[in-house]
Structure formats: C-alpha cells, structure tokens
Structure 1
Amino acid sequence: MTTNPNSASGASPSSDTNQARDPHTLRSSRWFAPDDMRSFGHRSRLKGMGFDDIDYEGRPVVAILNTWSDLNTCHSHFRNRADEVRRGILQSGGFPVEVPVMSLGEMMMKPTTMLYRNLLAMEVEEVLRCHPIDAAVLMGGCDKTVPAMLMGAISADIPSVFLPAGPMLKARWKEATLGSGSDVWKYWDERLAGNLCDRDWNCIENCIAPSAGTCMTMGTASTMACVAEALGFTLGGAANVPAVVAEHSRLAVATGRQAVEMAWEKRTPSSFLTERSIVNGVITSLAIGGSTNAIVHLIAIAGRLGIELTLERFDELSRITPVLGNLRPAGQYLMEDFYHAGGLRALLKELGELVDTSCQTISGVSLGQQIAEAEVIDNDVIRSRENPLAVVGGTSVLRGNLAPSGCVIKALAAEPRLQRHRGVAVVFDNYAEMKAQIHDPELEVTADSVLILRSAGPLGAPGFPEWGMLPIPQKLLQEGVRDMVRISDARMSGTSYGTCVLHIAPESAAGGPLALVQTGDEIEIDIPGRRIHWHVSDAEIARREQQQPEPKPLADRGYLHLYAKHVMQADKGCDFDFLVGRTPGAEPDIF
C-alpha cells in the first residue's frame, strides 16, 4: 500500500483476518467439498488442468473476469494486469481463475458497443452465477464495459470489485497537448477548413494515442470509472491511476487481495449499494463535468437495484452541483493531470456535504473513511467550491413537444451564444444520408440552422450510437463556424463537445415527434429554461402522424431480435425490460 494519500489504496485487513474461517461457508464448497460423484468430477477436472488439492481446498475461488481483446485498444495491458490480480489473490490465500468475457472495444465495434452493453451484462451475471465463484474481480474500462459489468454483478449479487483500466498517458504534438477524441474532432474540422495539411494530420494520427488505456479526457470511460469509485465498487483512488504506471500494477495486486477478503466477508453489491450510493454517483458525474452517457448508464445501474432514477432527479442534482473538475472536453486538463492533482478522492472531499460519506464501499469502510486523507495538490485542476469551473452541473435535461420524455445536453461544452437559440431545421433521415449530404456545397444551411439527425436511437440505428455530434458543414467551417445547434436521438461520445441536444425520447423509430420534423420547421432551445420546442401546430403534427409508414421490424432472429423486443428508451436507461429490478436468480441447485 502506498503512503500517498491520493494514491490507490490496497485492501485493509478486516478485524478477523487472522481468525479461523470456515471453508464450508464458501459458495464454491458446494462444488468441491461433498464426498459424492458430482464433486469427484469437479475436483478431478481441476486436477486434469494441473491443479492439486492445496490450490483450491478451503480457499475462496476468485474469478478474474477479463475483457482483454486484441480489438480493444483500451484494454491492451490487461494480459499483464490479470497476472497481477492473480498474484494478489494468491497472496491472500485465494484460488484465482481467469474467465474471459465479451470485450466491448468502442473504437472497433460497429454500429456501437452500446448495442452490446446488455449482452455483456447478461454474460457477467450468468458467468458469476453458474460457476463455483466466491468473489470476482471485474476488469473493464472502455466505455460500456464499466456499466455492463456493474449491472451484471449487481444482478448476480456475488462479491465483486471493479478494476478500472485507467486512462492512457498525455499526448504531445509540436507545442500542443492532445486529448484523444476531442482533439480528433477539432483537428478534423481544421483540416476540412483548409488549415491543416495531410502530413500534420498523419503526425497527429501517429501520436494521439500514446499508450494503453482509455481516452485521457473526461470521456465516458473515465466518467464511469469515477462513478464506479463513488458508488463504492473500487478501491479508493482506483479510478484515475494511468494505465501504464507502476501504481496501476500495484492497484491490480491490491484489488486481487481485496476480492479474497470480500469472499470471506460475503460483501455483496446488495450489502453496500443503496439509493444514497446512486445519488453519490450522479453528483460525481456532474462535478467532474462527465459524459452525458453517464445518465443512461446510471439509470440502468439503479434499475438493477430496484431504484427508479429519473431525468428529473438528474436535473435537480445538476442545479445544486458545481463543476470542480477542470477537465477536457469541458475544461482544460487531462486525466493524468487529474491524477497528479489529487484525483477523485480529493474532488469528493472538496464537494463536502453534497456527498453522502456514510455510504459503504467494497473495502468494508465508508466513503468518508476512504477519502479522509485525500488532498488537492493543484487547485486549478480540481477547483474549490468557491472557484468552480461552473456553478452548477454541466449536464441539463430539456423537455418539450419535441422530447416529451426528455433529452439531455452537456451545456458546459456548448458555446454561450447558443444557450438560447431558435433556428430553421435541416433534417437528415439517417446517418448515411447525413454523411452523404453534410458537406455538399449546395446544402441550404447557415450558422443559425438547427441540424437534425433521426433514426439514431436505441432502435433506429440500431444500438444508440455516438452520432450526436453532427459534423459542421465544410462550407461553414471555412467561414469560421465552430459550433451550431445539433439535435438527435443519438448519444454523443464523452470526448465530444458543442451544442448537441441528445437522447431525444421517445426516439423517432419508436414513434417519437422527431420522426415528423421536416426541413424548414423552426426549433427552439432554452437551456437555462430547460425547454425545447418545435414550432409546428398541433393540427399539422396530427396530419403528419397520419402519413407515417408502419415501422419495419429490426430483425427476425438472433440477438437483434431479442434486443428490439426488450430494449427500453433512453430515459429508462436502455436496459432490457426483463432485467430491471433487484432480482438475483436462484443459486444452482443441481449438483
């Protein structure tokens, strides 16, 4: 364990660490302990893999659920980290078993990893339930792996600790410090505007992702890692340790040790997660200027606990939560700076009474105890409540006749002049149409236009992809325009920025009003007033509704068929309707 108060902390030995523990209380003993034919088969197959009695007898079986893949750039260091987790499990007397689960690599999977978040959640739940597992280390990081693994572990309700992948290191190009994701958009716009040559663009491509790990901005990956720590699902300080520093290796070992303690203590998700924990997660995502995607994921996580988290509750908390993390894309700094400035624990401590520090964590201590020794090292990266980046949370919820069930916007990442705006719609029916037409010199569009993309929600795309940051038309970029109002039923990457209204619910493919908008209609947004309005009469809306064709089925087989039948809308977290609620399945009863 490191002595730095802002470094990730290892497991604290429980009061009865040295006391005798009854191995028959372990869940895995049902597989291995009885003197019967079934258990003979379980033990003999372990021995067929080269294990001996001493490897597992009387020891907690700790599963390492590893989302490593050659196609998941964020997790390219997980082969080594799994071995380090294994070392920690062995140090504390556990029996480590590595179990690969689906890897959701945001950069490579199409149309989006969000399509498969619920599939990974189901896999985690069932893998934990069907195997002789006493506790688990959940290894994830890239965007959807975090909520998926937490959702699955909550539903299985088996002791589980999350190990974040950690952000990659900062990148440099010439005199600029690059942030993955957000700077891609910025420099691509400059290239389209004629301000960046092909050689420089290639140099940026070669250096913008300098190491293993998740995006180094406060995108969805780092947002959800911070949320996981605020929920109590990680060791203290785990959320911000860069992926490739030595401390991340020590964190992996310490996480393995912690999992063994949790197995003996039966510290399940239901034993420490409460509605107050969820509120801490929401406040954390707001205070760090986090990704709008956190809203969808937190609603789904809360739903697995049987807790209803509404968009209204998000907005209530947004109105009282200052943004203290001066982090891109909303602020100035990157995750490596946040780590050196004190990290999430220091920020949580700075939030004071806004955080419920009595909430418990996987370490068996309260959140207050976990952050007690934290301190802010750099008060420009982690602002004080007297000097926030913004006086209220960076995410706002809008409602109106275009979004009856609500929509969201990261107001902190929008230009101030567009906080209140009324403009004429330029509508794209789908992503392919938008891509084909957006840079057409003949496209009738101005800086005051409102770009609309539909067929981009959970059903329409399908999968709710990150298409919400519609590109600025090239002819406007060449005129110096760098932001305009964009509205869609899509999500937006947590690394993105701009005046982008997202998660329109219900989506167009589910019969929402967005399906009826036509080019030339006037759309108005009022972020301070939390309002979005479509300036079309009720009579005209009714006329257009009558002309709408019947929706076509998404698929007639496979996972897409299941997905289309059961996925809920954005305001409900996009979980499957049959997985909501605190419903851990029955333990296996046939041995």
Structure 2
Amino acid sequence: MFWRSKEILKFPERAGTRALLKSMGYTDYDLERPLIGIANSWSTIVPGHYNLRQVAAAVRDGIRQAGGTPVEFGVIGVCDGIANGHIGMHYVLPTRDLIAHSIEMMVQAHRLDGVVLLGSCDKIVPGMLMAAARLNVPAILVPGGNMQGGPYFDGRKSDVTTLSEALGVLKAGKISEEQLAGLEEAVAPGCGSCAFLGTANTMCCLAEAMGMTLPFAGTAPATSAARMRLAQESGRAIVNLIKKGITARQIMTRGSLMNAIKVSMAMGGSTNSVLHIPAIAYEAELNISVDAFDTLSRTTPQIARIYPAGPANILDFHEAGGVPAVMREISSLLELDVMTVTSKTVGQNIEAAKTINRDIIRSLENPFNREGGLAILRGNLAPNTAVTKPAAIHPSMWTFAGCAKVFDSEEAANEAILNGKIHEGDVVVIRYEGPKGGPGMREMYRAMKILYGLGLALKTALITDGRFSGTNNGCFVGHISPEAAEGGPLAAVRDGDIITIDIPNRNLRVHLEEKEIQQRLAAWQKPEPQIKEGYLALYSRLAESANEGAIIRYR
C-alpha cells in the first residue's frame, strides 16, 4: 500500500530525512509504518484543553497498537471565557483560520498520512475540521470532553456563565459579594469544555453528528475513563481509515453536514454553528448557505433541551443518550448512508442508540418545539440575514418591539447596562462588532448575562452585527449582515428609533422609510478601524461577511 510518507522516507534516496527522524529515536520499524500526525491544542490556559496531554498519550497508544507511527505537534487555542468582555475577544474568531492554516502546513510539509485532531473549544474544533476538509487526508477529531457542573443556583446546576448572571444579581442587591466569591470557587469543579451547550460543546456534538468523531466522543466527560478509552480507540480508528483509504471529504459530504445542521436544530445548538458549518463546507468545496439553517429549522423539531434552553447540562445530556440518541430519534430526517470515521455508516452507528431520559431528549412525535433551535431573519435592518436562537428565548419574547439605545462598541453597552441606563422596553443596539468592524466579530455574551441578572432578560432585547455565546438567553439577534462597518443599515440606526424583532415571521426591521435610511447612510462616515496593525488588521481586510461564515476566501 502506498502512503504519502513514503515520498519522504524511501531508502536510500531519503536517507537524510530518515536520519533526522532517527535523531529523535525513531527506528526503521517506525519508518516502515504510516506517519500519523497528532495536532494537539493542549495548554495550561484553556480548561477544555488542560487534559489533552493525557488524551494524546492514549491516542498514541492506539496508533501504535494498530500499526502506525504517531508524530505529535502543537496547535494554538484561545479560551473564549478568558478572552471575553475585553480586547481579547477580537482575537478569538480569527484564530479559527490560523488553526486551519497551521495544521495544513504541518501535515503537508511533512507528508503525513493522516491526522488526529485534539481540541474541545469554540474556534479550535471548527478550525481543525476546516483543516481536515481542506487537506482531504484521513482524519479524526478527538475532543477533550466536557466539564462537570457546579452547585445549584437559580434553579439549575451552575457553570462559569452563572457568574456573569450573578454579577447582575449582585448589582440588584439580591446576593452578597461573599456569596459571589463562594460561587466562583464552585462553578467549575474540574477541567473540560464548559458544561453548557455553548459553541464548544455544540461543535463537538456536531463533529460527532457529521461522522468525524467516534460515537459519544462529543459528550463523554473530560475526567472520565470513557474519555481515555475513546482516545485510544480513535488512535486505532485513524490507522484503519488510512488502510482503507477513507479521507475527510468522503465523510464530510453535503449529506453529513446537513445531518449536522439538523442535529443542531434538534438540540438547540449555538448560533455560532451558522458561522462554522458554512466555513467547513467551503473548505470541502461544498456550498451550504445560511438559508439552509432556516429551511432545516422549519422541518426539524427541537427534541433536546440543554442549557440555555433548559436546566440540563452536557453531562446530563450525555447520560440521557447523547448525540446517538438524538440522531436515532430524528433518524427519519437524516441521511443514514453517509460514511463516518468508524468506517461504518451513520445508520449503522446509531442502530442500537437508546434514549435514557425523556425529560432531556424527547421523541420526534413529542418535541419541545415544532421547529428547530435557530432562526434566520431578514428585513430592512438585515438585508443579507441575521441569526437568532428561539430555543433559548422565552416564547413571549419571540416578537418584541422597543426603543433603540445605540452603542458603537461592546464596552460602551456594558457600561450603560451596569450603570442603570437600560430600561424595560429598550432594544440595545451594539454595532461595529462584525468580522471587519470589530475586527473579529466579538460575542456579546456579557451584556446579555448582565441584563439577565438585572431582571431585564424578558423586558429588553439586544441586536448586533457581532455574535453571541451559545449560553446566551433573553431576546437577541446577531450576525446582522451587512455589518455596520460595511455601511449596512445598522449604521443608520439612532437612539429612539423603534425596532421590531419578529421571529415567527423571520423579520428584523427598524420603523423608518427606506428613503430615510438611505439619507442617513449617505451622510454616514466609516469609522477608523479599532485595531490597525498585526494579524487583525489583515483579517479585517480579508474576512467575508457573517452571512458567508466570516471565511477568508482563497478561491
């Protein structure tokens, strides 16, 4: 069998390359086997990646057991939680492309035969899947697993997002600083991706749904023995994929990506999936538009309820049956014959799946909502679409009209909210936070959490050309395209304008005549970029609009 690595390991022509590898202890025996990369985003600053050294060791064992030679290299990764609410959030989404580029460079430069992708968190997982699709070599994703939840607070198990809500509760005088400090010690009891259905766990679950992980790899806890067993089994699986010649694009097909969108709708997944699935599709030379999410949302009921849509966390969801159970429940809506990294089809993988807890995962006939968890809006404020998450919004807020309070940055909005300048009936408008204007399309997570803590979640709304964390709830609309920095209608909004959010009718509008909007835009002056140097200056020039996945187009 011919492997790519034989191009660089043939003796005697490539004796120099062989000598370089032998200088690190590799043997002739090692060099006769396929060279398999382990792209490891381990660090001691990202909780979701803190255990990846141990996970990588198990993967290496599995590769050697199955007849491969593992070669490990590092990949960057940013923690959204640590980067949140300050300048650091500008840098998070742009890392997605750097991750994809760096893995491509390492795999191609060293002619690796396949790659195991180790990552758990928000932009790391989609960046890795983008790289796999671009390279089209055998590939498998191994997430590090999710964090356990903390003690009960406000009717559910707490997690790190609880602290932002608790800050609002503190400002409202309902808890003390001592209580908040005690909560800080308890909400994150161990490493792993944060315990709610944010972007991290959404993308790990969707990677499983599209067939790029082993079953249950998207939800098995970070500190469990099951996580280590899955890692070792993944090492054996990548060797099997290489021997069978099954590459990433044979798994990440249009059908499998559509399955992933349907699972996202059925679970109430993060709005950020609307950025990431089209970006992965682009790398696989497929065209999946934002509109596909709305089409599938209208035909895929929400059958799972996980925080922020309900009190259950990811560990609860895993114990209820996880992704395989959801896929089995909606199997009549899925393409069951698509290939997976098990070298079996989706249908074969989920054949024995069972739902353990009907309070968390329901049947197709008895869903939590008749439509899916996300919705795509249009209107005179969002001609090219906007994204919202009805799964995390109380039905009473699916239609909301209010008075605009306009802010040109996240910081200005957060300051106003904390200083009591936002009142019942207001629509908080945060603009110049899109892919280009931010730059980097920051998430407005903190603003929504503070509004929740202040008791305004069901009395106000927030719209933005930025994005949201998967844990946000309240009434919110993001990804407004075209963004304000590109002269989109959002740039024309002024304090006092009336804005209507109408999720059932998929509409977002400002109550202005088109002539008035155009007159305001004619007088508009594009603001100076917030960051004018380094990678973000380049990203601001190259990134496409949010409705195109904020990709960097190269073809």
TM-score if structure 2 supplies the norm length? 0.95
Shift in Å, 1:520? 0.7
Question: 2:256, 2:364 → 1: CA distance?
Answer: 21
Question: 2:448, 2:292 → 1: CA distance?
Answer: 31
Q: Does the CA contact (< 8 Å) of 2:448 and 2:474 recur in 1? A: no
Do residues 501 (structure 1) and 477 (structure 2) align?
Answer: yes
- Residue 69 of structure 1: which of 27, 43, 49 is its match? 43
Q: Does the CA contact (< 8 Å) of 1:525 and 1:532 recur in 2? A: yes
Structure label with greater radius of gyration: 1
- Residue 116 of structure 1: which of 95, 101, 108 is its match? 95
CA, structure 1 residues 362+479, in 2 after alignment: closer, same or farther (shift >3 Å)? closer
Question: 1:557, 1:422 → 2: CA distance?
Answer: 40
| 1:245 corresponding residue in structure 2 | 224
In structure 2, the residue corresponding to 1:138 is in which secondary structure? strand
Amino acid in the other structure paired with 1:467: M
| 2:363 corresponding residue in structure 1 | 384
- Residue 49 of structure 1: which of 24, 28, 41 is its match? 24
- Residue 104 of structure 1: which of 62, 72, 78 is its match? 78
Question: 1:168, 1:553 → 2: CA distance?
Answer: 37
| 1:410 corresponding residue in structure 2 | 389
- Residue 437 of structure 2: which of 430, 439, 460 is its match? 460
**1:213-292 alignment, distance < 5 Å:** 213-292=192-271
Amino acid in the other structure paired with 1:108: I
Question: 2:531, 2:331 → 1: CA distance?
Answer: 49
Shift in Å, 1:249? 0.5
Do residues 151 (structure 1) and 126 (structure 2) align?
Answer: no
Q: Deviations over 1:267-313 (max 9, x none)?
A: 11122322111110100111011111111101111111222212222
Q: Does the CA contact (< 8 Å) of 2:438 and 2:530 recur in 1? A: no
| 1:537 corresponding residue in structure 2 | 513
Q: Deviations over 1:526-583 (max 9, x none)?
A: 11111111111223222212221244356665422331221011100011011x6xxx
CA, structure 1 residues 478+144, in 2 after alignment: closer, same or farther (shift >3 Å)? closer
Shift in Å, 1:257? 0.7
- Residue 35 of structure 1: which of 6, 9, 12 is its match? 12
CA, structure 1 residues 225+472, in 2 after alignment: closer, same or farther (shift >3 Å)? closer
Do residues 26 (structure 1) and 3 (structure 2) align?
Answer: yes
Q: Deviations over 1:369-418 (max 9, x none)?
A: 01111111111111111221211102111100100101011112112222
Shift in Å, 1:107? 2.4
Do residues 488 (structure 1) and 464 (structure 2) align?
Answer: yes
Question: 2:523, 2:445 → 1: CA distance?
Answer: 27
Question: 2:353, 2:311 → 1: CA distance?
Answer: 22
Range with bigger deviation, 105-114 or 424-433: 105-114
**1:10-21 alignment, distance < 5 Å:** none
Question: 2:195, 2:455 → 1: CA distance?
Answer: 31
In structure 1, the residue corresponding to 2:141 is in which secondary structure? strand
Amino acid in the other structure paired with 1:124: I
CA, structure 1 residues 135+498, in 2 after alignment: closer, same or farther (shift >3 Å)? same
Shift in Å, 1:341? 1.2
- Residue 323 of structure 1: which of 297, 302, 319 is its match? 302
CA, structure 1 residues 553+328, in 2 after alignment: closer, same or farther (shift >3 Å)? closer
Q: Does the CA contact (< 8 Å) of 1:325 and 1:331 recur in 2? A: no
- Residue 113 of structure 2: which of 107, 130, 134 is its match? 134
Question: 1:568, 1:341 → 2: CA distance?
Answer: 39
Amino acid in the other structure paired with 2:523: Q
Question: 1:449, 1:483 → 2: CA distance?
Answer: 8
Range with bigger deviation, 460-469 or 132-141: 460-469
Shift in Å, 1:420? 1.4
Q: Which runs of 5+ in 2 are unaligned?
A: none
In structure 2, the residue corresponding to 1:235 is in which secondary structure? coil
Question: 1:213, 1:417 → 2: CA distance?
Answer: 34
Q: Which runs of 5+ in 1 are unaligned?
A: 1-21, 581-591
Range with bigger deviation, 127-136 or 479-488: 479-488
Amino acid in the other structure paired with 2:206: V
CA, structure 1 residues 255+477, in 2 after alignment: closer, same or farther (shift >3 Å)? closer
Q: Does the CA contact (< 8 Å) of 1:420 and 1:525 recur in 2? A: yes
| 1:449 corresponding residue in structure 2 | 426
CA, structure 1 residues 363+480, in 2 after alignment: closer, same or farther (shift >3 Å)? closer
Q: Deviations over 1:79-108 (max 9, x none)?
A: 111111111111111111111111232223
Q: Does the CA contact (< 8 Å) of 1:327 and 1:334 recur in 2? A: yes
CA, structure 1 residues 481+151, in 2 after alignment: closer, same or farther (shift >3 Å)? closer
Q: Does the CA contact (< 8 Å) of 1:159 and 1:263 recur in 2? A: yes
Q: Deviations over 1:244-263 (max 9, x none)?
A: 10010001100111111112
CA, structure 1 residues 211+481, in 2 after alignment: closer, same or farther (shift >3 Å)? closer
Question: 1:439, 1:377 → 2: CA distance?
Answer: 42
Shift in Å, 1:506? 0.8
**1:202-217 alignment, distance < 5 Å:** 202-217=181-196
Question: 2:153, 2:249 → 1: CA distance?
Answer: 50
CA, structure 1 residues 481+45, in 2 after alignment: closer, same or farther (shift >3 Å)? closer
**1:554-569 alignment, distance < 5 Å:** 557-569=533-545
Shift in Å, 1:477? 6.3
**1:153-192 alignment, distance < 5 Å:** 153-173=132-152, 177-192=156-171
In structure 1, the residue corresponding to 2:185 is in which secondary structure? helix
Amino acid in the other structure paired with 2:201: S
| 1:8 corresponding residue in structure 2 | none
Q: Does the CA contact (< 8 Å) of 2:160 and 2:188 recur in 1? A: no
Shift in Å, 1:238? 1.2
Question: 1:179, 1:42 → 2: CA distance?
Answer: 52
Amino acid in the other structure paired with 2:489: P
| 1:343 corresponding residue in structure 2 | 322
Shift in Å, 1:470? 2.6
- Residue 92 of structure 1: which of 26, 50, 66 is its match? 66
Q: Does the CA contact (< 8 Å) of 2:448 and 2:462 recur in 1? A: no
Q: Does the CA contact (< 8 Å) of 1:468 and 1:501 recur in 2? A: no
Shift in Å, 1:209? 0.9
In structure 2, the residue corresponding to 1:533 is in which secondary structure? strand
Do residues 352 (structure 1) and 317 (structure 2) align?
Answer: no
Question: 1:232, 1:345 → 2: CA distance?
Answer: 11
Question: 2:532, 2:449 → 1: CA distance?
Answer: 37
Question: 1:424, 1:278 → 2: CA distance?
Answer: 39
Question: 1:550, 1:479 → 2: CA distance?
Answer: 35
Range with bigger deviation, 195-204 or 176-185: 176-185
- Residue 488 of structure 2: which of 512, 521, 532 is its match? 512
Q: Does the CA contact (< 8 Å) of 2:425 and 2:459 recur in 1? A: no
Question: 1:363, 1:194 → 2: CA distance?
Answer: 53
Range with bigger deviation, 177-186 or 303-312: 177-186
Q: Deviations over 1:499-539 (max 9, x none)?
A: 11111001111111111100011111111111111111223
**1:428-443 alignment, distance < 5 Å:** 428-441=407-420, 443=421
Shift in Å, 1:153? 1.2
Amino acid in the other structure paired with 1:320: T
CA, structure 1 residues 480+71, in 2 after alignment: closer, same or farther (shift >3 Å)? closer
| 1:299 corresponding residue in structure 2 | 278
In structure 1, the residue corresponding to 2:125 is in which secondary structure? helix
TM-score if structure 1 supplies the norm length? 0.89
Amino acid in the other structure paired with 2:30: D
Shift in Å, 1:481? 6.0
Question: 1:255, 1:479 → 2: CA distance?
Answer: 46
In structure 2, the residue corresponding to 1:470 is in which secondary structure? helix
CA, structure 1 residues 128+360, in 2 after alignment: closer, same or farther (shift >3 Å)? same
Q: Deviations over 1:307-360 (max 9, x none)?
A: 221222211110111111121110221111111111110110011211111111
Question: 1:225, 1:467 → 2: CA distance?
Answer: 22
In structure 2, the residue corresponding to 1:65 is in which secondary structure? strand
